[in-house]
Amino acid sequence: MASEFKSAYVASKHGIVGFTKTLALEGAPLGITCNAICPGYVKTPLVEKQIADQAKAHNLSESEVISKVMLYKQAVKEFVSVESLGQLALFLASEQANTLTGASIPVDGGWNAQ
């Protein structure tokens, strides 16, 4: 999804989606799948720093940054867990996902559903 003030970041993510589709087509004859996991905000050290920086820049509390900025557009008002992303990656690497290829899978608390 596009996001204001993040043109380079968004462009790189859109490029990854196209790259994923190309690899899926090229890998299919060899039994190789390729999918993109597209997470929303994950509470990593980088995001924690962004929360603190946004709070200072906009004179907001850190909880306001989380609720009014980061998770505002998400239906599920919580960060994506590292564990859920790991479980999805394991599924995608399993035999049960052998025909799932070329997909961009949003794991974003419903932000993409807007």
Of the residues 3, 6, 9, 12, which is catalytic?
Answer: 9
66 token code pair: 């989380």
Enumerate domains of the chain plus CATH numbers.
7-109 (3.40.50.720)
Cross-strand pairs, 36: 104
pLDDT tens-digit readout, 86-111: 999 999 999 999 999 999 999 999 99
Model pTM? 0.88
**Residues 107, 84: contact at Cβ < 8 Å?**
yes
At residue 2 the predicted structure's pLDDT band, cuts being 50, 70 and 90, is confident
User: Is 72 among the residues known to form the active site?
Assistant: no
**Residues 3, 10: contact at Cβ < 8 Å?**
yes
Residue 92, C-beta contacts closer than 8 angstroms, at least 6 positions apart: 33, 35, 37, 100
